Amino acid sequence: MKFLKIIAWIALVALVVIQFFPVTLNESDTIPQSDFMLVNKVPATIKNQLQVSCYDCHSNNTDYPSYSKIQPAAWFLEDHIKEGKDELNFNEWDTYSSRRKNSKLRSIIKQIESGEMPLDSYTLIHGGARLDSTAVKEIIGYMESLQKD
């Protein structure tokens, strides 16, 4: 029993200690000129939906929920955001070559079509991020209009 008690104490101490490790928050006040919304004339409804459903992980600015400041949740999020931005960063849209834009558009369409994005783990907590069938259709239609041969 003593053994378990020690383990529990260690876990507790570890949990407290990790709170002191700072997380680099994905926050930025400025929207670069290369942003998807600035480069393209995005209709307002789609703009809002993209902002809510995609920009938290696919841009330089995340609208953090309160639980995200507590470890280890913060690391979990940090990882997701890093991966998301590596794949696609809407803020850097215009820095992609036209070939890559087409590739990205295609991936966006495929991922939304198949329901892989936004992630289930994300929409579970952010109900507003879930895309209903109308939103899916609208976004896909819009993304297709941007594709070039």
Residues that bind other proteins (CB under 8 A): 2-3, 6-7, 9-10, 13-14, 17-18, 21, 24, 75, 78-79, 82, 97-100, 102-103, 106, 110
Instruction: Please give the Cα distance from 79 to 57 (Å, whole number).
Output: 10
Report the residue number, 103 or 134, with the smaller CB distance to other proteins.
103
Instruction: Say if residue 67 is exposed, middle or buried (CB neighbours under 10 Å; 0-12, 13-18, 19+).
Output: exposed
Contacts of 53 (CB under 8 A, 6+ apart): 118, 128, 129, 130, 131, 135
CB nearer other proteins, residue 28 or residue 48:
28
Interatomic CA distance for residues 41 and 16, integer angstroms:
48
Least Å distance, CB 53 to other proteins, is 21
Closest contact distance (angstroms) between CB of 110 and other proteins is 6
* Smallest separation (angstroms) from other proteins to the CB of 68: 15
